C-alpha cells in the first residue's frame, strides 16, 4: 500500500517542524475477533506529523463507514466510526533489540529509508474503532429465544401452554420426515 508510506525526509531536516495530511485509502483486511471488518468506501484519516528530536510523532483520527452485524438480532447495519491514534516513529538505531517488545515495535514503527508506513497504525485504529458487540440500536430486542423470530419486527411473548410451540414441533416432524436418516441415530 504505497500511498500509506510517507516520506519524512523533509520533516526530519528541521527541528520541531510539522506536516498535516489527509488520507483516503483502503486498508488490508482487518479482523475484530473472528469477524472480518467490512469497510464501505475508503477510510479517511486526518494526520499531523511532528519532528521531535529525530523521531516523528504522528497523531490523528481515523473515520470509516463500516457494516456491522447486530449482536442481538443478527441484522447488518452501517455505522460511521471514529478512532484517535498516536504513535512515535523512531530510527532503527533507537530501538532496543534486546527487548522482544521493542523488536515488534521496530517492525511496525521504524523510520525506514526516510519513510514511515502508516498502515499498521491505521489498521490498529480501525480494529479499536469497531465495537465488540455492536447493536443496531440501543433498544434492540433481539431474536426470540423460543421461536427465533426478530422481536423488533414481530414483538410477542410465549407463555407456558404455548400456542406457537406446536409450530416448532410440526416443523421438526416435517424435517425428520424429509431427513429420515437423521432420525435413526443412536
Binding residues for Zn ion (CB under 5 A):
70, 72-73, 136, 140, 144, 146-147
Classify each residue of 82-119 as buried b or exposed e, where b means 16 or more C-beta atoms within 10 Å of its C-beta.
ebebebebbeeeebeeeeeeeeebbeebbbeeeebbbb
CA distance 13 to 60: 22
Residue placing its CB nearer to Zn ion in the complex, 23 or 147: 147
Residue placing its CB nearer to Zn ion in the complex, 77 or 108: 77
Q: CB of residue 70 vs Zn ion: minimum separation in angstroms?
A: 3
Residue placing its CB nearer to Zn ion in the complex, 126 or 140: 140
Q: Is 101 left (phi over 0), alpha (psi -120 to 50) or beta?
A: alpha
Q: Residue for cell digits 506529523?
A: 49
Residue placing its CB nearer to Zn ion in the complex, 54 or 155: 155
Diameter of the chain measured on Cα atoms: 79
Q: CB of residue 117 vs Zn ion: minimum separation in angstroms?
A: 37
Q: CB of residue 82 vs Zn ion: minimum separation in angstroms?
A: 22
Residue placing its CB nearer to Zn ion in the complex, 53 or 132: 132
Q: CB of residue 160 vs Zn ion: minimum separation in angstroms?
A: 14
3-state class (DSSP) for residue 127:
helix
Q: CB of residue 23 vs Zn ion: minimum separation in angstroms?
A: 32
Q: Residue for cell digits 416448532?
A: 168
> Per-residue DSSP letters for 154-171?
S-----SS-SSHHHHHHH
Amino acid at each position: 500500500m504505497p500511498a500509506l508510506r510517507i516520506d519524512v525526509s523533509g520533516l526530519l531536516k528541521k527541528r520541531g517542524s510539522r506536516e498535516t495530511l489527509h488520507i483516503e485509502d483502503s486498508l488490508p483486511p482487518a479482523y475484530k475477533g473472528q469477524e472480518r471488518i467490512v469497510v464501505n468506501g475508503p477510510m479517511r484519516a486526518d494526520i499531523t506529523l511532528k519532528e521531535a528530536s529525530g523521531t516523528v510523532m504522528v497523531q490523528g483520527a481515523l473515520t470509516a463507514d463500516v457494516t456491522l452485524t447486530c449482536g442481538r438480532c443478527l441484522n447488518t447495519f452501517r455505522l460511521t466510526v471514529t478512532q484517535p491514534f498516536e504513535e512515535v516513529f523512531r530510527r532503527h538505531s533507537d530501538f532496543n533489540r534486546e527487548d522482544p517488545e521493542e523488536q515488534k515495535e521496530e517492525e511496525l514503527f521504524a523510520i525506514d529509508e526516510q519513510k514511515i508506513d502508516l498502515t499498521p497504525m491505521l489498521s490498529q485504529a480501525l480494529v479499536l474503532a469497531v465495537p465488540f458487540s455492536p447493536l443496531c440500536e440501543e433498544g434492540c430486542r433481539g431474536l426470540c429465544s423460543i421461536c427465533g423470530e426478530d422481536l423488533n419486527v414481530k414483538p410477542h411473548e410465549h407463555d407456558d401452554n404455548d400456542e406457537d410451540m406446536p409450530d416448532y414441533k410440526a416443523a421438526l416432524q416435517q424435517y425428520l420426515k424429509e431427513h429420515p436418516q437423521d432420525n435413526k441415530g443412536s
